[in-house]
Structure 1
Amino acid sequence: MSLNLAMIEGRLGRDPETRQVGQTTVTKLAVATTEKWNDKNSGQKMERTTWHNVEAWGRQGEIIAQYFKKGDGIGVQGTINTDEYEKNSEKRYATKIKLNSFWFPVASNNSNNNQSYQNNQQPQGNNYQQNQGFNQQQNNFPNQQAVDNANNAPDDDIPF
């Protein structure tokens, strides 16, 4: 058994680039994710940004190109693919995420507020933040209220 799954939430480093491949639209994205930590030895704050190439095919790519621009937050879920090609008689590789679904991050501590787009659904109206045409992400926890309360607890109440 194997699993190929990538899930990231970050910011677009440039405007989405859309082109036609036959009868299908493909949209390319550059998504940056940033990791922050304190150095163990010096205590200095450290930061590392990783860039992810993402391809969105069909209607999903068209919607991303319509509603997103450089600097916007985006969440993507997809599969990791590596293409092999030759340049100047030298083998090269390009790794990308082929998008399966995406969401519009919402500034909130409760991840249930994220709006998700998948399975060829189409948004209605001009405001993509509305629930129309989008799946509400669901967590299948037995006691969602307990999970929500734990997410909002002050740090000094955490037992570990």
Structure 2
Amino acid sequence: MQNLVILAGNVGATPETTTTQGGTRIAKFSLATSRPKRDQDGKTLKDGDGRRMEDTEWHRITCFNGTAKTVAEYVGKGQKVMVRGRIHYTRWTDQENVERYGVEIIADEVTFLSYGKSRQNREGAAQDNEDDDVPF
């Protein structure tokens, strides 16, 4: 048996990165996935403008070491990525002595489905240069 999950969606915010005292690099980010809303007959629901309505779910993604380094360098808010990893459940007691539960995806692979922030930065700089009236 294998604990395997594959998600494709949009990154919700710039990944947060940390490094442990032992040198392990960690990157965390949120990922939004969507699916069409359906009525009781299975037909896709549409809004008043005729656009398909969707249900969006948010997932917490955690990456380690090399994957974390790549995510930190190249992944930005709004980027489309595919994550392959495993589901990890946690349980803890908060400061008010209430038992809490959480779930996250531990990513083994993150595949870019759209351009990352380094390419967007280069293209933005190139466009800025094109707009300049200064001769070279």
> So what's the TM-score if we normalise by structure 2?
0.72
Shift of 1:44: 3.0
Return the structure number with greater helix share: 2
Structure 1 residues 24-82: Cα deviation after superposition (integer angstroms, max 9, x where no partner): 11000100001114424686323100001010000111111111111001110001001
Structure with more contact order per residue of length (Cα contacts < 8 Å, sep ≥ 6): 2
2:45 equivalent to 1:44: yes
- After superposition, the Cα gap between the structure-2 partners of 1:36 and 1:59, relative to the gap in structure 1 and judged at 3 Å, is same
Match of 2:74 in 1: 67
Runs of 5+ in structure 1 lacking a partner? 108-125, 128-160
Answer yes or no: is 1:17 the counterpart of 2:25. Answer: no
Provide the rounded CA distance (Å) in 2 between the counterparts of 1:29 and 1:80.
15
Does the alignment pair 1:31 with 2:31?
A: yes
Report the counterpart of residue 5 of structure 2 in structure 1: 6
Question: For 1:10-159, what aligned pairs fall within 5 Å after superposition?
Answer: 10-22=9-21, 23-40=23-40, 44-45=45-46, 46-87=53-94, 88-105=96-113
Structure 2 runs not aligned, ≥5 long: 47-52, 120-136
Q: Tell me the residue number matched to 2:125.
A: none
- The TM-score normalised by the length of structure 1 is 0.62
Aligned to 1:158: none
Letter matched to residue 17 of structure 2: T
RMSD of Structure 2 on Structure 1 (CA): 2.1
Report the count of equivalent residues. Answer: 108
